[in-house]
């Protein structure tokens, strides 16, 4: 096993932090867009009777996507870290 020089390690950590922050904001934007889209369809375009199964499957697909993220990265999202990121940044 070899050890990275401090300068390379710091650069990698900086890039990882930046990428993580970007993905967090993209995820938040997508969740907000999903909510707005479902709200629009539920209250203006269709009724709840039509949208209930749609929202169920969209929610289930979101859960599958989050589980796929866990399977790929082996990282569990922790509420404490979300709280810390919101307070610190």
pLDDT digits (tens, 9 = 90+) for 20-67: 888 888 888 988 998 999 899 889 999 889 899 998 998 898 888 878
Q: Is pLDDT of 19 > 60?
A: yes
Q: Is pLDDT of 85 > 60?
A: no
Angstrom distance (rounded) from CA 24 to CA 20:
6
Where is pLDDT greater, at 41 or 78?
41
pTM greater than 0.85 (yes/no): no
Q: What integer pLDDT is reported at residue 72 of this predicted model? A: 79
Q: Is pLDDT of 74 > 60?
A: yes
Q: Is residue 42 within 8 Å of 55, Cβ to Cβ? A: yes
Q: How far apart are the first and last CA of the chain?
A: 35
Q: Is residue 65 within 8 Å of 73, Cβ to Cβ? A: no
């Amino acid at each position: 096993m070899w050890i990275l020089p401090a300068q390379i390690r710091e650069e990698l950590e900086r890039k990882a932090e930046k990428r993580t922050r970007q993905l967090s904001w993209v995820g938040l934007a997508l969740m907000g867009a999903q909510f707005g889209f479902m709200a629009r369809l539920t209250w203006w375009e269709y009724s709840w009777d039509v949208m209930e199964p749609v929202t169920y499957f969209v929610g289930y697909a979101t859960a599958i996507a989050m589980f796929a993220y866990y399977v790929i990265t082996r990282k569990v999202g922790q509420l404490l870290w979300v709280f810390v990121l919101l307070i610190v940044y």
